[in-house]
Amino acid sequence: MTIGIAGAGAFGTALGVALARDGRAVQLWARDAAAVAQMQASRENPRLPGVTLPDTITLTAALDPLFACETVLLAIPAQALSGFLGDYGARLSGKALVACCKGIDLGRMTGPASTIRDLVPDAGAAILTGPSFATDIARGLPTALTIACADDASCALLQQLLSTPTLRLYRTTDITGAELGGALKNVMAIAAGVTIGAGLGESARAALITRGFAEMQRLVTQLGGQAETLAGLSGLGDLVLTCTSAQSRNYRYGLALGAAQDFNTTTTVEGIATASALRQLSLDLDIDLPICTVVADLTTGRTDVKTALHALLSRPLKEE
Ligand SMILES: NC(=O)C1=CN([C@@H]2O[C@H](COP(=O)(O)OP(=O)(O)OC[C@H]3O[C@@H](n4cnc5c(N)ncnc54)[C@H](O)[C@@H]3O)[C@@H](O)[C@H]2O)C=CC1
Ligand SMILES: O=C(CO)COP(=O)(O)O
Which bound ligand lies closest to the C-alpha atom of 47? 1
Task: Please state the domain count of the chain.
Answer: 2
Tell me whether residue 95 is one of the annotated catalytic residues: no
The active-site residue out of 95, 185, 306, 318 is 185
The CATH number for 189's domain is 1.10.1040.10
Q: Where a domain ends, among 173, 198, 215?
A: 173
Statement to judge: residues 118 and 20 lie in one domain: yes
Residue 237 DSSP class: I
Q: Is 174 left (phi over 0), alpha (psi -120 to 50) or beta?
A: beta
Statement to judge: residues 33 and 167 lie in one domain: yes
Which is nearest to 135 in space by CA: 219, 45, 260? 45
Over the stretch 265-283, which tens digit does the pLDDT of each residue have? 999 999 999 999 999 999 9
Distance, first Cα to last Cα, the chain: 50
Note whether 203 and 181 are within 8 A (CB): no
What pLDDT is stored for residue 21 in this prediction?
97
Q: How confident is the model over 2-30, as a mean pLDDT?
A: 98
This model of the complex carries an ipTM of 0.99
Over the stretch 75-115, which tens digit does the pLDDT of each residue have? 999 999 999 999 999 999 999 999 999 999 999 999 999 99
- Measure the CA–CA gap between 295 and 274, rounded to whole angstroms: 10
Whether residue 179 is contained in a domain is answered as no
Q: Which residues of 19-39 are buried (b: 16+ CB within 10 A; e: fewer)?
A: bbbbebebbbbbeeeebbeeb
Note whether 52 and 44 are within 8 A (CB): yes
Flag whether pLDDT at 318 surpasses 90: no
Collapsed DSSP state (helix, strand, coil) of residue 58: strand
Residue 19 DSSP class: H
Q: How confident is the model over 28-51, as a mean pLDDT?
A: 97
pTM confidence score: 0.98
CA 46 to chain centre: 20
Over the stretch 141-171, which tens digit does the pLDDT of each residue have? 999 999 999 999 999 999 999 999 999 999 9
102 annotated as a binding-site residue: yes
Q: How far does residue 12's CA lie from ligand 1's centre (Å)?
A: 7
Which bound ligand lies closest to the C-alpha atom of 100? 1
